[in-house]
Structure 1
Amino acid sequence: MDFLQQLGPVALGSRLRRLSEYFTSEAATIYTDYNLEFQPRWYPVFYLVAHRPGISSNEIASQIGHTHASVSQIVKELVRHSLLTMRTDAHDQRRRLMTLTPLGQEMLPRLRAQTDDVRRSMQALLAEADVDLWQALDRLEAQLQQQSLRTWVAQARQQREASPVTLRDFRTGDQPVFRQLNEEWISRYFKLEPADLKALDHPEEYILEPGGGILLAELHGQVVGTCALIKMDDGRSYELAKMAVSPAAQGQQIGFLLGQAAIQRVRDFGGTRVYLESNAILKPALALYRKLGFQDLAEPNPSPYARADVQMELLLR
C-alpha cells in the first residue's frame, strides 16, 4: 500500500490527480501509435468544435467545465497547429466562432477511430475492475454541485469542535482505566479469559511494543472509551480488540468515533486489513462494526477466546 492509499479518502484529490497524470501520459503515447500529432488536453475542445462548428470559446468552456482562460489557451494552440480557425461573429464583434481547418477535418476520421478503440478498451477495463467509475463520478459531481467540498469540511469541523468527546493515544498510567472499562463489559456477559488478562494487564508489552496501538476517548476530561489495535502475524493485518465504552457515556457515538479512528490508524500503519472477533449476543456492537464496513468471514479462524463465535474483517483499499 502506497502513502496515498494509507491516507484514504482525505487524499482523493491527489489520487485523482495521479490517475489523471497517468491517463494523460498514456494518451500521449497512444496518439503517437496512431500517427496523430495531437495533445491529450486538446481533445474535448477539438471534438466539441468538430460536432458543433461555429461554437464560441465561452460556450466551449461552459460545455466542458473548464475555465475560459484554459479554453482560450487550448484554442490558441490548436490555431497555431493549423487544426482550428476562428472568425468573428457577424452579429457580435466580441465573439470568436471556432471551426476545424481542412487539416483538422483530415485528422478527424483517424481521431474518431482512435476514440472508438479507446472507448471499447475503457469499457473492458472498467468491467474487468468491476466498478462503474463513470457513474460514481457523476454522483460525486452531482453532490458537489449541491454542496461544495468547502461546506462539507466546515460542517465536519463544526461537529468536531462542538463534540465534547476527544480521542488520544494510550499514555503511561492508563492501564488501570483500560482494564476497568474492558473488564466491566466482559464480566457483564462472559468471564475474563487468559487472553484478556494478557492484554489488559500488560498492554504495553502485548499491544504497543509489537507495533499496535491503543486509543482512548475522553468526555469532559474523563476516559470513557477505549479500543486496541493488535498487529497480526502477517504484518499487514491488525486486530481491532478491547473496544469498550462506559455505560454512562453510551449513546454519544463514542464507539463509532473510536472505530473510525482505529481504521484510519491502521491505514497510517500501512495495514491493509482490520480483523475482529465478537459474539452473536452483542447486537449493538455487531451493528456498529457493520456500519464501519466490516463483513463476516466465510470461514472461521482458530480463536484464543471461548466466547468468540463471530469473526469479521474490513479490507482497506
Structure 2
Amino acid sequence: MDALKGLGEIGLGSRLKRTSEYMMRETQLVYDEFNIDFDPYLFPTFKIIKNKDGVTNTEITNSLKTSQPATTQAINKLHKKGLISLKEDKLDKRKKVVFVSNKGKQLIENVTPIWNSIEHIIKEYTNIKSESLTELINELEAKFNEKSFSKAIIEHIKMNTTQNTIAITTFKEEYSSSFYNLNIEWLQTFFYVEPYDEEVLSNPHKYIIDKGGHIFFAKLNNEVVGTVALMPMSEPNVYELTKMAVSPKHRGYKIGQQLMQHCIDFAKDRQFDKLVLYSNTKLENAIYIYRKFGFLEIPVEKGCPYERCNIKMELKTKS
C-alpha cells in the first residue's frame, strides 16, 4: 500500500516532493544515457543564465524565488563544471556578472534536443483531466508506473534521431490485424467505433483493395507502428485519405505526417485528381497538420458515412 497516497489531501506536499525527486532522478538517467555531464537540479539557474546576456546572483534569485545561498550554490557548481564564466560588474566591482562559457554553449547545443524531448513527454504525461491536484498526481504516478519517465524520454529522443529508419510498405495479408487493431485503438481513444468503421476495418479487401484502393504501413525495426488507407470514392479518380492510425507508444514522432506525405506523393505520381478526408474539429492538432499539407475545408455532404465528422477537407493532387 502507498502510505503517502493514503494520506489524501493533507499529504499533498509530500506527494509533490516525491514526484519532483522521482522526475529529477529519471532525468539524470536520461543525461547519463546520452553522456551529458549535467545535473537536472541546476537546470533552472542555467536556463536563466542562458537566456540573459549577463545576469547577477540577485537577479537569478529574484527570478526563481529561491534563497540567495541556493543560487550561490548552483552558480558555484556550474562554475566548477566550466559551464559559466564570472566577470566583474563594470559599475560595481563587488558584483559578479554570470555568463555562459564556451563549454556551456557547447553543452546547450548537445542537450537542447534532450530538453525538447523532456518537455514533450511532460506535456504528454500531464495531459490529464482531473478534479483536484491530488487526483492529477494519482494519474501521473500511474503513468510513471506504466512506463518510466526516463524510458519515455529516451524512446522519444531515439525516435526523433532515427526517423529515416521508418519504412513505408504496402498491404500484405499478414498486416490485416495491425490495420484493424491500430484503428480500433485510435477510435476507442478519441471517439467510438461506428458500425461503418467496423465493417471497413474487418473487410479491407472488400472495401479498399478490391476496389482499387491502397493501404500503407509504417514499420520501425520490422514492427508495424502506423497505417493509412486511400479508399476510392464514388467520384472518379478521387480517393479518401482514411483509416490513419499510429500506435500509442509511437505518437508524437511525426509518423502520421510521414504516412500523409507518402499518400500525397503516391496520389501525385498516379495522377489522382484529389484526396478527400473527413475529420472532427475536436482533433485540433490533426486539423492543423492537414492545413499544413495544403488541405482546404469544403462542405460536408448530406449522408456523410461518419457520425463523428463535422469537417471535410480536400487536396487537389493532379498537376
| TM-score for both structures, normalised by structure 1 | 0.48
| TM-score for both structures, normalised by structure 2 | 0.47
